[in-house]
């Protein structure tokens, strides 16, 4: 069961406001004997994964998923904290920790589900080393993903961060070496795919890259390493409902062999099941 919602882009005015809406009038009633669980998600890949689970696995496990889609990274946590959702699936644990610290919430990571590798995309060049001197590169402007983006650029040999730079205190001033004199533009994550028309390259979160039709193999010029990657997306809940049996059932379904096979087939390596990463 899906209840599509369009949330406003993340901005200061909406940091603590959740998107909300009514269930679709066409939504079917839960089957007798099933228990409803309301799950917030971004459309791709989390929404697609949840759709598969709901259509193929949930009923046999006695679960009926009410899936609420969001287009930004703030509203799903606000809705979870306020009790509008039972769980959500879209974020990595560093982002969740930052949200809790900034909003005084007590949301918890329940289970890692999938890794969506972060990528540097470009319509101008075919390889990161081909970026020209002074090329403009767009970065996600939320702190956890911007730091993650800088790590990716460092892994690719494009910059060097000062020793001791960490996620809690970093700034662009911590770029110690920038041999190509790259110019960085901080952009709201949802707008990064559009920015590719105006910049030489952009680091785009996986879900927004896929929604925009960016090709994982053709358009990316630098990708995160998979092994030991700390940015695995998690199923999150509130501290007071993390042990709910319905949540445990959803964890079993999301980490099942059937779901892993769906992820591998549907996303062709651009999303990695956590159990197989």
**DSSP label at residue 226:** -
Which run of H or of E encompasses 69?
strand 63-70
Q: How many beta carbons lie within 10 A of that of residue 99, not counting itself?
A: 23
Contact of 201 with 121, CB cutoff 8 Å: yes
Q: So what's the pLDDT on residue 31?
A: 60
Domain 119-223 - what CATH class? alpha beta
Q: What angle do CA 192, 193, 198 make, to 5 degrees?
A: 80
**Length, in residues, of the chain:** 277
d(CA 219, CA 99): 31
Tens digit of pLDDT for each residue in 242-276?
Answer: 999 999 999 999 999 999 999 999 998 899 999 76
Contact of 215 with 268, CB cutoff 8 Å: no
Name the stretches of the chain with pLDDT < 70: 1-32, 276-277
Contact of 37 with 247, CB cutoff 8 Å: yes
The alpha-helical segments, DSSP class H, found in the chain are 48-53, 75-81, 93-103, 143-155, 192-195, 206-211, 245-254, 257-267
Tens digit of pLDDT for each residue in 39-49?
Answer: 999 999 999 99
Q: So what's the pLDDT on residue 276?
A: 63
- Assigned CATH for 2-116+229-276: 3.40.190.10
Dihedral angle of Cα 138, 142, 145, 149, to the nearest 10 degrees: 30
CA atoms within 13 A on the CB side of 175: 20
Q: So what's the pLDDT on residue 19?
A: 36
d(CA 96, CA 78): 11
The answer to whether the pTM exceeds 0.75 is: yes
Could you tell me the residue ranges of all domains in the chain? 2-116+229-276, 119-223
**DSSP label at residue 110:** E
- Asked if domains 2-116+229-276 and 119-223 share a fold, the reply is yes
| Residue 17 three-state SS | coil
Q: List Cα–Cα distances, 61 to 35, 55, 98, in angstroms.
A: 9, 11, 34
d(CA 56, CA 43): 18
Q: So what's the pLDDT on residue 70?
A: 97
Q: So what's the pLDDT on residue 30?
A: 55
Q: List Cα–Cα distances, 223 to 41, 91, 271, in angstroms.
A: 23, 18, 12
d(CA 47, CA 61): 19
d(CA 32, CA 62): 9
Residue 136 burial (10 A CB sphere; 0-12, 13-18, 19+): middle
């Amino acid at each position: 069961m899906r209840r599509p919602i369009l949330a406003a882009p993340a901005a200061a005015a909406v940091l603590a406001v959740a998107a909300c809406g009514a269930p679709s009038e066409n939504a079917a009633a839960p089957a007798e004997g099933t228990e409803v669980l309301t799950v917030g998600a971004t459309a791709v890949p989390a929404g697609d994964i949840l759709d598969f689970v709901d259509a193929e696995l949930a009923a046999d496990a006695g679960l009926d998923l009410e899936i609420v889609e969001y287009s930004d990274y703030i509203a799903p946590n606000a809705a979870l904290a306020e009790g509008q959702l039972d769980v959500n699936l879209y974020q990595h644990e560093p982002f969740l920790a930052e949200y809790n610290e900034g909003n005084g919430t007590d949301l918890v990571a329940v289970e890692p589900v999938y890794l969506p590798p972060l990528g540097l995309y470009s319509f101008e060049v075919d390889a990161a080393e081909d970026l020209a001197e002074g090329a403009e590169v767009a970065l996600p402007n939320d702190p956890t993903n911007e730091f993650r983006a800088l790590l990716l650029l460092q892994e690719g040999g494009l910059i060097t961060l000062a020793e001791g730079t960490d996620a809690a205190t970093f700034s662009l001033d911590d770029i110690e070496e920038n041999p190509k004199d790259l110019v960085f533009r901080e952009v709201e994550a949802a707008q990064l795919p559009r920015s590719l028309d105006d910049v030489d390259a952009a680091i785009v979160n996986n879900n927004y890259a896929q929604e925009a039709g960016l090709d994982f193999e053709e358009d990316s010029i630098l990708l995160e390493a998979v092994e030991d990657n700390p940015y695995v997306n998690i199923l999150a809940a509130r501290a007071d409902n993390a042990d709910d049996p319905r949540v445990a059932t959803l964890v079993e379904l999301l980490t099942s062999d059937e779901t892993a096979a769906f992820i591998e087939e549907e996303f062709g390596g651009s999303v990695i099941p956590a159990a197989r990463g």
